């Protein structure tokens, strides 16, 4: 990126541009700014970037986008700095003209985004969502962090309220999209599952062009979604239905045979043949293939792919145990899927359960139901830190243990771990259960 302030006269009035300067990057955080970045002074409920303009300049910012008048530095004055961030991302994307992939769903977004980008990067230069920047600030920042030679963007699209996906669509304008799944999450802001569904379905909205929509043919909402995509080209994946465009023809230990519309059936290595991971792989293959990637790119990417930290990544643990790290996030559906994966492991099966956040008034019910499901399926031990400890222990029965802190849990569990123990660690992000994983893995 190398842009002059004067180059931006198409999106900002010349009268708003004070002095000229060149910037090579974009930052909204004075703590991590790089020399020659343009600093955008965003503000919100608990912060105001305008208070950090001098710090940003001291650290080498070459210009500022501000809502207030400044002196003696190059700046652009705007009414809304957040809107300016979005307009700058749209401008930069229009210069690069990449193919854009958009991915949403309740579970699996980051894994599918990561794997899709690994495949497409074997085909053409690819930029993916930076970290977990999947909202109306993070997504434009991800675009603005891309290299000028990027030919493909792979963008994760998150939502916590109605209208969020539509806003991200307006920024990204993806050519190919996927709705992975929908289940209860963020109920404190969404209110109902129907509101979650309708928000995720915003990814189908017509943007003046026919886009490709990747859907799971075996999903419970598939028929509903097909009806909403009459103006789009629906492409299907399935791990069970071999009539889908992309399907799993055969699954064996660490190997998957895949059918696609473009090539003969081929086999690839997979680190995890559990159901949800096969779906993630199929979605990734379909998204990358519909942009133009082929089997040689898929195989090259899969050969050294070892998963995403915190998302069902498997580690060798202390005393030759097995740690399943699903600490990055949790909701009722993803937790049940993780329990089902744990059930396929031989040996002792333990769960370290943390709080699942943003479940509203039914939070205790969801936690209790998972404890009942774990008990019914003969999980050997349950270790918990939740707001509903007593109810969860009562539901699971014997061999359930509650703690007030992760350090207490770690101290208790470590001496018990043996070489035949499989430990699933899962919680919402704010619980920071990766600290437990770090103490239990080698």
- Digit-coded pLDDT (tens) for 129-151: 987 789 999 999 999 999 899 99
Taking alpha carbons only, the member of 306, 309, 416 closest to residue 352 is 416
pLDDT tens sequence across 259-292: 999 999 999 988 777 777 899 999 999 999 999 9
Mean pLDDT, the chain, rounded, equals 92
Report pLDDT for 310: 58
Q: What is the pLDDT of residues 79-131, one digit of tens each?
A: 999 999 999 999 999 999 999 999 999 888 988 999 999 999 999 999 999 87
Residue 366: its pLDDT value, please? 95
pLDDT in tens, 49-72: 999 999 999 999 999 999 999 999
> Residue 65: its pLDDT value, please?
96
pLDDT tens readout for residues 346-368: 899 999 999 999 888 899 999 99
Per-residue pLDDT, 251: 86
Provide CATH code, domain 3-81. 3.40.1390.10
The residue ranking higher by pLDDT, 311 or 187, is 187
Range 313-440 classified under CATH 3.90.190.20: yes
pLDDT band at 246 (very low <50, low <70, confident <90, very high): very high
Q: Which residue has the higher pLDDT, 2 or 304?
A: 2
3-class secondary structure for the chain?
Answer: CCEEHHHHHHCCCHHHEECCCEECEEECCCCCCCCCEEEECCECCCCEHHHHHHHHHHCCCCEEEECCCCCCCCEEECCCHHHHHHHHHHHHHHHHCCEEEEEECCCCHHHHHHHHHHHHHHHCCEEECCCCCCCCCHHHHHHHCCCCCCCEEEEECCCCCCCHHHHHHHHHCCCEEEECCCCCCCHHHHCCHHHHHHHHHHHHCCCCCCCEEEEECCCCCHHHHHHCCCCCEEEEEECCCCCCCEEEEEEECCEEEEECCCCCCEEEECCCCCHHHHHHHHHHHHHHHHHCCCHHHHHHHHHCCCCCCCCCEEEEEHHHCEEEEECCCCCHHHHHHHHHHHHCCCCEEEEEEECCCCCHHHHHHHHHHHHHHHHHCCCCEEEEECCCHHHHHHHHCCCEEECCCHHHHHHHHHHHCCCCEEEEEECCHHHCCHHHHHHHEC
Alpha carbon distance 171, 133 (integer Å): 14
Domain ranges of the chain: 3-81, 98-303, 313-440
Could you tell me which residues are beta bridge partners of residue 257? 250, 267
Q: What is the pLDDT of residue 390?
A: 95
Q: Is 292 exposed, middle or buried (0-12, 13-18, 19+ CB in 10 A)?
A: middle
State the pLDDT at residue 253.
76
> 313-440: same fold as 98-303?
no
CA dihedral (350, 308, 279, 102) in degrees, to 10, reads 140
Q: Which residue has the tokens 């503000």?
A: 43
Out of 181-190, 196-205, 220-229, 351-360, pick the least confident: 181-190
pLDDT of residue 308: 63
Q: Which CATH architecture has domain 98-303?
A: 3-Layer(aba) Sandwich (3.40)
- pLDDT value at position 189? 77
């Amino acid at each position: 990126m190398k842009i002059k302030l004067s180059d931006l006269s198409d999106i900002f009035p010349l009268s708003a541009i004070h002095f000229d300067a060149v910037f090579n990057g974009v930052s909204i955080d004075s703590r991590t700014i790089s020399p020659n970045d343009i600093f955008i002074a965003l503000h919100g409920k608990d912060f105001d970037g305008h208070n950090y303009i001098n710090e940003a300049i001291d650290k080498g910012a070459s210009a500022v986008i501000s809502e207030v008048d400044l002196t003696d530095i190059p700046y652009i004055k705007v009414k809304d700095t957040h809107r300016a961030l979005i307009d700058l991302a749209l401008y930069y994307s229009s210069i690069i003209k990449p193919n854009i992939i958009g991915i949403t769903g309740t579970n699996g977004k980051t894994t599918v985004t990561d794997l899709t980008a690994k495949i497409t990067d074997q085909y053409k230069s690819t930029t993916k969502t930076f970290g977990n920047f999947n909202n109306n600030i993070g997504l434009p920042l991800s675009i603005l962090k891309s290299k000028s030679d990027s030919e493909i963007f792979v963008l994760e699209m998150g939502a916590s309220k109605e209208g969020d996906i539509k806003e991200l669509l307006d920024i990204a304008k993806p050519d190919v999209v996927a709705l992975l799944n929908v289940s209860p999450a963020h109920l404190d802001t969404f209110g109902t599952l129907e509101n979650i569904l309708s928000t995720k379905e915003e990814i189908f909205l017509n943007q003046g062009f026919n886009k490709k929509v990747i859907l799971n043919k075996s999903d419970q909402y598939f028929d509903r979604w097909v009806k909403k995509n009459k103006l789009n080209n629906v492409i299907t994946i399935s791990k069970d239905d071999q009539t889908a465009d992309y399907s799993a023809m055969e699954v064996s230990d660490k190997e998957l045979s895949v059918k696609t519309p473009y090539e003969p059936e081929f086999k690839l290595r997979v680190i995890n043949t559990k159901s949800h991971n096969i779906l993630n792989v199929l979605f990734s293959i379909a998204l990358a293939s519909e942009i133009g990637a082929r089997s040689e790119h898929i195989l090259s990417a899969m050969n050294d792919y070892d998963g995403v930290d915190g998302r069902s990544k498997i580690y060798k643990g202390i005393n030759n145990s097995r740690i399943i790290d699903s600490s990055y996030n949790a909701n009722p559906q993803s937790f049940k899927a993780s329990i089902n994966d744990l059930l396929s492991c031989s040996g002792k099966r333990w769960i370290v359960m943390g709080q699942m956040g943003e479940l509203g008034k039914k939070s205790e019910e969801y936690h209790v139901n998972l404890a009942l499901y774990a008990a019914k399926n003969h999980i050997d031990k349950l270790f918990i830190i939740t707001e509903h400890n007593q109810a969860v222990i009562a539901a699971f029965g014997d061999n359930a243990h509650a703690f007030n802190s992760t350090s207490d849990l770690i101290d208790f569990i470590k001496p018990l771990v043996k070489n035949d123990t499989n430990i699933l660690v899962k919680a919402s992000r704010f619980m920071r259960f990766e600290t437990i994983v770090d103490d239990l893995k080698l």
